[in-house]
Amino acid sequence: MKKKVKALVSDYFALLRNEDEASAEEIAALRENIKSRLEELDPSAIREFMGEFSSLPGVNSGMKSDVNEYVMNVFIKKYPVEMASMMSKAPELFSLSGQSVPERVIYDPFKFLVYYYCWMEKDLPLVFDCLAEASPEFQSKYISGTLEHYADTPLRRAELFEEMRAFASTPEQVDLVRAQMSDLLFVRPDAKVTFVEVSDLLQSADLSSDELVAATKGMENKVRVGETGQWLDWLRTTGIPVEIAKERAFDLADRWTEKDYLAVGKWLNSAPEGPEKSAVASAYAAKTYPYDPEGAMQWIETLPQGPDRNKALETIYQGLPKDSDEAEAFASEFGLGK
């Protein structure tokens, strides 16, 4: 096997080095010969081939790029799981060891693997089998590619969601998957997802409290503004811890007030009393104070002494001109800045 690999490496390197001196027909025939010989290699021989080739004096980035084309179009399509393990264990052989090389020169073959089996083959279980064979560093780097290349319909998003949860068998993988949950649920390439789509998936997934916290992180920037009221109502019915639910409500209301303060005021006037409403009132008052201080203070007066009231007052104070008379008077009246 070693002799066979050495001969293949020698012939391939000679082809790359002398390619400009042969005709197109000759190059095509030589490349077809190289490809057929590469297809005969098993994973052990592939590892030998990559090591032999990379150790040759005179190998440049263009040659490495050429090899990676065969890695993607021959090896990965024939031995995906074995190649995932090999690339993770010997990234330097595939130009994946972190050196600064423009992607246009050497394409990332592990990225291609995720793309090919997500988008072209639609074989999600195989993708996660490959990720499971890779190092934690590779898992962290490439798992987001599954969102990019697979999660383009509600059904596929649900499939990906379950595959991710099944993949997470270690504490590190659990953290990694939870870090992807928010983007998986709320972000898709063509448009922001609807409330019905995401809430149905959340309900069917039967998430734990910790998973719900992870899934809703940053949701204020991902939901449709016109559906914010539905999300605020939804927060009251979930298993998210109260303090986290209030954080989510405050952030949702802050953005909603910026886009449509009249709608927020209408929601506040009809919403039942509760922690989420207090958080919304706090955000609404802080956001509207610059142009309606009287109305903002009326909402603050509805809040009892405590974190929600203090957060609104502190936010207003931080927005006033520093060291101005207005800021000093406000701080003095409400005991801030001490």
pLDDT in tens, 299-331: 999 999 999 999 999 999 999 998 889 989 999
> What is the radius of gyration, based on Cα positions, of the chain?
28
- Does residue 189 surpass a pLDDT of 90? no
Percent pLDDT > 70 in the chain is 96
d(CA 148, CA 184): 9
The conformation of residue 122, written as its DSSP 8-state character, comes to -
Contact 236, 204 (CB under 8 A): no
Q: pTM, whole model, 2 decimals?
A: 0.84
Q: How far apart are CA 70 and CA 79, in angstroms?
A: 12
Kindly state the tokens that stand for 254. 């802050």
Sketch the domain layout of the chain as residue ranges: 1-19+33-97, 114-185, 220-338
Provide mean pLDDT across the span 3-29.
91
Half-sphere exposure of 308 toward its Cβ, with a 13 Å CA cutoff?
28
**pLDDT reading at 151 higher than 90:** no
Residue 101 above 60 pLDDT?
no
Q: Would you state the pLDDT for residue 338?
A: 55
The Cα–Cα gap between 194 and 226 comes to: 10
Cβ(122)–Cβ(149) below 8 Å: no
Is the pLDDT reported for residue 99 higher than 70?
Answer: no
pLDDT band for position 164 (cuts 50, 70, 90)? very high
Taking alpha carbons only, the member of 2, 104, 114 closest to residue 51 is 2
Give the model confidence (pLDDT) of 17-56 as tens digits: 987 787 889 999 999 999 999 999 999 999 999 999 999 9
- Report for 104-108, 129-133, 159-163: range of highest mean pLDDT: 129-133
DSSP reduced 3-state for 13: helix
Identify the DSSP state of 79. -
Amino acid 281: pLDDT: 97
Burial label for 310, CB within 10 Å (0-12, 13-18, 19+), is: middle
Going from the C-alpha of 190 to that of each of 54, 112, 187, 274, the distances in angstroms are: 41, 22, 9, 36
pLDDT value for 75: 97
User: Would the CA dihedral through 51, 55, 61, 67 be positive or negative?
Assistant: negative
Output the CA–CA distances (angstroms, integers) from residue 151 to 124, 176, 181, 184, 216, in the order listed.
11, 17, 12, 7, 18
- pLDDT above 70 for 105: no
Q: Which residue would you say has higher pLDDT here, 281 or 205?
A: 281
Q: What value does the mean pLDDT of the chain take?
A: 92
* pLDDT tens per residue, range 232-279: 999 998 889 999 999 999 999 999 999 999 999 999 999 999 999 999
CA end-to-end span of the chain: 77
pLDDT for position 104 = 47
